[in-house]
Structure 1
Amino acid sequence: MQTEPQKRISVSALKVWRISGVIKAAIEWAIAVTAIIIIHIFNGPLWVSVILIAIAIILTYLHIFLFPSIRWKRWRYEVREEEIDTLEGIFIISRTLVPMVRVQHVDTVQGPILRKYKLASVIVHTAATAHEIPALEESEAEELRFYISKLARVAEDDV
């Protein structure tokens, strides 16, 4: 059996995922506050408002602190001549092997938050799916994109 992939994504991914967590938490708080206002307008029970606030606090902690840390510690990848091996997940651990002969094309993508931290994600496309290696340093993402596309061409020529 092959060993688990060893390469890690950038530690700056934590910052990016925490910023995304802040955005999610802000949306959740907006929903909670709206629900509390509606409950208050219709003289609803106070305990419902307290529960909504408690849920919002817990979700804020999970999205900003806990989930990004676990996600970063778990995320691993490795590119070999025959396959791309990824390991990811928080509650459900997923290990994926993508054969090079199945790779059709490779992209690098950057959203505004990734761009601010000079990160990019590599997306490997097959006929049926797309597999992402998130939050790599820009130069590493470009090198990886070129390397995977080169290996995919070689694998295609061998078939």
Structure 2
Amino acid sequence: MVLVPQKRISEKALTVWRISASINVIISWILAAVVIFILHKFNVPYWISVILIAIELIFTYLNIFLFPTLKWRRWRYDVRDEEIELQEGIFIVKRTLIPMIRVQHVDTVQGPILRKYHLASVIVNTAATAHKIPALEESEAEELRLYISTLARVADEDV
């Protein structure tokens, strides 16, 4: 039986992701308004503008309400003595195992929106890639960073 990672990221991630999506949606609406204005200037049929607005409304709903919820429900992680397991995805679920022996360093990052909600993300770096555990409580992120770095040092010494 394959175990699914059990730890969840903070529920505040929903708010952070919705704020980020809102910024993207505002930019999208501005672009749509410019396109509608240009279409109006060239006397393009009215129904094309209506379709564009409908598409923007669907885009807004999906990006602000539906996708963050689905993303939060799916995002899980576990840190074990010999590996880190991540699970993420909305339609396609991606599960990643990172062997502790491959971990080179661990960072915490915090942008302005994460900082406002007292969240931070943990980035686990290997030689090939960087893996992100997003939107953890600040204290949890710091503890996790220290714990992973300790486990990575022990795994490195065992080799």
**For the superposition of Structure 1 and Structure 2, which TM-score range results when normalised by the shorter chain?**
over 0.9
Matches of 1:126 and 1:2 in 2, distance apart?
A: 24
One-letter amino acid matched to 1:63: N
Give the percent of matched residue pairs that are identical in Structure 1 and Structure 2: 70
Q: Deviation per CA, 1:32-88: give whole Å up to 9, x if none.
A: 101000000111111110111001000000111000000000000000000000000
Question: Matches of residues 124-139 of structure 1 in structure 2 within 5 Å?
Answer: 124-139=124-139
Matches of 1:20 and 1:57 in 2, distance apart?
A: 17
Matches of 2:47 and 2:101 in 1, distance apart?
A: 58
Whether 1:114 and 2:114 are equivalent positions in the alignment is yes
Give, in angstroms, the shift of residue 92 of structure 1.
Answer: 1.0
Tell me what 1:150 maps to. 150
RMSD: 0.6
Matches of 1:41 and 1:100 in 2, distance apart?
A: 60
Tell me what 1:57 maps to. 57
Q: Which runs of 4+ in 1 moved over 2 A?
A: none
Please list every run of 5 or more consecutive structure 2 residues that lacks an aligned counterpart in the other structure. none
Please list every run of 5 or more consecutive structure 1 residues that lacks an aligned counterpart in the other structure. none
Tell me what 1:43 maps to. 43
Determine helix, strand or coil for the equivalent of 2:120. strand
Determine helix, strand or coil for the equivalent of 2:10. coil
Give the structure-1-normalised TM-score.
0.98
Give, in angstroms, the shift of residue 2 of structure 1.
Answer: 3.4
Matches of 2:87 and 2:113 in 1, distance apart?
A: 23
Matches of 1:13 and 1:80 in 2, distance apart?
A: 23
Give the structure-2-normalised TM-score.
0.98
Count residues with an aligned counterpart: 159
Matches of 1:42 and 1:22 in 2, distance apart?
A: 30
Matches of 1:146 and 1:102 in 2, distance apart?
A: 16
Whether 1:84 and 2:87 are equivalent positions in the alignment is no
Matches of 1:109 and 1:2 in 2, distance apart?
A: 31
